[in-house]
Chains A and B, each alone.
Chain A
């Protein structure tokens, strides 16, 4: 088991964002968390990467307990996060942003290899390597966010709404790349509003409703589940 979230509860002040959430991710999988607004998907990712501390519960990564560790330490262990809202460095060039993503990597050859790999997944970023982030299109910014997270050579990649605000064609392109990244050996936890797309690429899914996991199973099964169809796929 690569990642195990055990009975985690997180509160923002007095409001409970996620309640007793448990989930597990195997090496090599794409696991998706789906659910409506405020269901607790983003909070779950934040808990895993250390941005939020659980009130109760435990988080284990590669046999090591990671809840309570600082974000930096968790990144170092091999968890990268492409966060909600992208959080790009607006006036930094694409190349510098990617190099900043490799901050913990000190070996020059390794950094170059990561850079080549990211440019391989996202040829557009290579074309725009000298442009500053805020002048990129929405799709390119999303690519840069994912590329930056990949620069740390993560074992586990957390993606928060990669399709947000993108045209259908671009969404398709991003999801194809996500599958490629997964095939290259990176385990992925994907949070999505676009449930149909997410269920198509994922191996397994967890469905969150108001802070609790209400349903879990193989993604292809959930795609045919009548409850899921009614609630999330608009059928």
Chain B
């Protein structure tokens, strides 16, 4: 039982981390609370369904194609919806809420509103320390962990990763180094959405999916972002693990109905003691950066 709880918690945590990292990047670079981020997860999941069931692609290929597709969708959204609103907090906030409904409607039109499932990716079970776990769940973990690690590497070690971090910390300082804020916004939004898309594909392999699945996720993702601390990848990952494990423990030892309340209580407690988030980078200079 314990092993099962641990494994499930790990799986949930890794998927939440993927969703929240994207959101954190978008917030950090563009200062936009993108409520439609959950819909990008949904498009990833629906994309996987379409690719696997209709186009008969295998899971690995579907993951790649759906991730790239959702990433491009993110870039297009940034250009059309968010770029004209740059620096306008309330309008961009409202736009992102509007986007939720637009994308849900698009999802409903394209894929229908019924619950769907993709074919089992890997049949069979594995035994780990006496616990029986389906292979298709176990295989998610290395994939999600590898994506997270790759993103961390991108941010820390590459030219554009540094540019994105710089932009999130001081836009004026970044632009004086010849960094294009426009391009960084597109890359942050594209890569963040792509991670959401990948998380959607992984989710599709373990739960039923529908065009409204993003709604439940977005609240969790925002909680993780703010508990983690702004623009802190490490903080975001730790917060994702707190949420993932709370969920898996509560659902096994208590009742899944309590999950949202307990999660909120745990996270509120953390924010009371560390208002800046676990890895506390204060939200500073946001106003000054736009003078």
Contact = CB atoms under 8 A, between A and B. Distances in A.
Interface of A: 49, 51, 71-72, 75-76, 80-81, 83, 85-92, 96-97, 99-101, 103-104, 106, 148-149, 151-152
Contacts of B179: 72, 100, 103
Interface stretch (B74-82, B101-109, B164-172, B246-254): B164-172
- 5 closest Cβ contacts across the A-B interface? A87-B173, A75-B178, A89-B169, A104-B178, A100-B166
A83 B288 CA distance: 14
B170 A100 contact: no
Contacts of B170: 87-90
Interface string B43-73: 0000000000000000000000000000000
B162 A76 contact: no
A33 to B, nearest CB: 18
A104 B172 CA distance: 16
Interface string B175-213: 111111000000000000000000000000000000000
Contacts of B95: none
A188 to B, nearest CB: 16
B143 interface: no
A103 B179 CA distance: 7
B163 A103 contact: yes
A189 to B, nearest CB: 15
Contacts of B159: 99, 103, 106
B174 interface: yes
B281 interface: yes
Contacts of A90: 169-170, 281, 284
B177 A103 contact: yes
A55 to B, nearest CB: 18
Contacts of A80: 176
B173 A103 contact: no
Nearest to A99: B162
Nearest to A90: B169
A85 B284 CA distance: 14
Contacts of A148: 177
A87 B172 contact: yes
A92 B169 contact: yes
